[in-house]
Amino acid sequence: MKRLGVLTIILALCAAACGGADFVYFESITSGPNPGATLIVVWMSDSPADDADALEVSVARVELVAGNIIVPLATSTQTFDLLALQNGNRIKLAETNVAPASFDRIRLTLIEDGPLGPRLRRGITWEPLAFATPGGHVIDVPYGVHAAPDATLEIQIDFNARTSLLDVEGDVQLAPQLDALDPGFAGTIRGTVRGSLGAPLADAIVIAHRAGVEVRSTRTRGDGTYTLTPLSPGSYDLSVQTPEGPIAPEPDVAVTSGEITTVDFASP
């Protein structure tokens, strides 16, 4: 009997500081018709929101899509504080077996409003978030997925909180900005940010740009360290915003697949 193929998908989301290992992999379990084969879906966030302490969203569905074909991966609503995920941490969302097929995008459906709708906390005050465009709670992330027989495939989706929160005449709205990549071919930038007196700086924002576009960002931990990941191989320009002010940028930082590049910053 032919075994079903297995696809491992890792979804990532952008958010704020929470420390921890560069990558937190969750142990898979045996499930479905394929003994020893598991599909893991994980969220990872790697981007802070500049003036928010928490950003909650509830995901109702995660699906693979190809034309009119839709394969559900997760259908139970789960609520996450995106700003509790950062610096390479990832959180498990769903797992399932997928028969061999090809797909061209991954679809996330968020709860649009009500008690489980998106909301933002600044200080002790929670405020509901509306989506910037009608239907904006259904997000299609372009990414070619080929679920081959007896194969394991990882995909990470990054939810960029910094660029997803829009200030519209004083009203904050949510316009989700997501991208996907294969973490097996990704690299990492990490280092430490220090102040003018040499002490580590917490809550500094480190941003990676590529061709003038913000790709990843993160907030330094309490010990001043940061991790930007996952990053596709290539060259990035890094900038830093600290409580003491901006630090001189670091241009043309090379990222190599499967490797860690160290870049430290210090205020003059």
DSSP codes joined into one string, 126-177: EEE-EESSTTTTEEEEEEEEEE-TT-----EEEE-HHHHEEEETTEEEE---
Answer whether 180's CB lies under 8 Å from 142's CB: yes
The whole model's pTM is what?
Answer: 0.80
| Inter-residue contact 64 to 145 (CB < 8 Å) | yes
Nearest Cα neighbor of 116 from 136, 85, 135, 137 is: 137
Pick from 9, 19, 68, 28: nearest CA to 46: 19
Question: Of 15, 29, 92, which Cα lies nearest the Cα of 59?
Answer: 92
Tens place of pLDDT for every residue, the chain, 268 residues?
334 444 444 444 443 333 343 333 333 333 344 543 334 444 555 466 777 889 999 999 999 999 999 989 889 998 988 887 777 777 777 777 888 888 999 999 999 999 999 999 989 999 999 999 999 999 999 999 888 777 777 888 888 888 899 988 778 999 999 888 888 889 999 999 999 889 999 999 999 999 999 999 999 999 999 999 889 999 999 999 998 889 999 999 999 999 999 999 998 8
Q: Candidates 3.40.605.10, 2.60.40.10, 2.70.150.10, 3.40.190.10; correct CATH number of 186-266?
A: 2.60.40.10
Q: Is the dihedral of CA 209, 185, 139, 172 positive or negative?
A: negative
